[in-house]
Amino acid sequence: MERFEISSPVIKTTSDRIGKMGLLLGLTVSHSLMGETGEACGYATKCLASVNTLTPDVAILHVQRSDREGHAHCWGTLGVTRQAALAARRVIIVTEEIRPRELILSDPGLVLAPAIKVAAVVHEPFGAYPSPVQGCYRRGHDFFHRYHEESRTEEGTRAWLDRWVYGIADWKGFLGRLGEDALSAVRVTLPRLSEPLDYGA
């Protein structure tokens, strides 16, 4: 299989720095993953590989609040949430709260994606648990820790899946098995409100 080596001043500097920390950084792209065989680049010392963009059929995204039409607000550590919403053909919004349309549209800069792309809106409080949702709840460290401990073996993984995935009918059942104490432990208790914005003209 043909491979292209990617080498640029930026990558080389990064690689050198990581190498000094005792890590190995390998940068090769398989020809089978590329849409083109390669193209010229001002930063490349060799052939630079081109990879086709991803266009997911559906992106399932968790947000803090949304209206029933799919205008959604999310904030905090977003990762690639906004990029996924724009790249996907359709979007399913899972939201902590359903809010009136006029409230969501009062801050248009926070709207995640055009509502025309939204296939469904799911109201599911604690729907991202054990991951955190800024302003709603913190990370469920204990749950992650138990998962890592209990899934160290194949038998342990099967038992964990039976208890937390296959043995539960729905999300309400998951939260019920989790227990109110676990949810209370991660709920945000000290709000930190941002400064209101002025959209006046």
Give me the residue label for tokens 């709260």. 97
CA pair distance 131, 119, nearest whole angstrom? 24
Q: What is the pLDDT of residue 47?
A: 62
Q: What is the pLDDT of residue 72?
A: 97
CA pair distance 147, 153, nearest whole angstrom? 11
Q: What is the pLDDT of residue 199?
A: 83
pLDDT tens digits, one per residue of 106-160: 998 899 999 999 999 999 999 999 999 999 999 999 999 999 999 999 999 999 9
Average pLDDT, the chain: 82
> For the ranges 46-50, 63-67, 139-143, 149-153, which has the lowest average pLDDT?
46-50
Residue 145's φ and ψ, nearest 5 degrees, are: -60, -45
Helices (H), the chain: 9-20, 81-87, 101-105, 141-150, 154-161, 171-178, 180-186
Residue 48: pLDDT band (50, 70, 90) is low
Other beta carbons within 10 Å of 113: 21
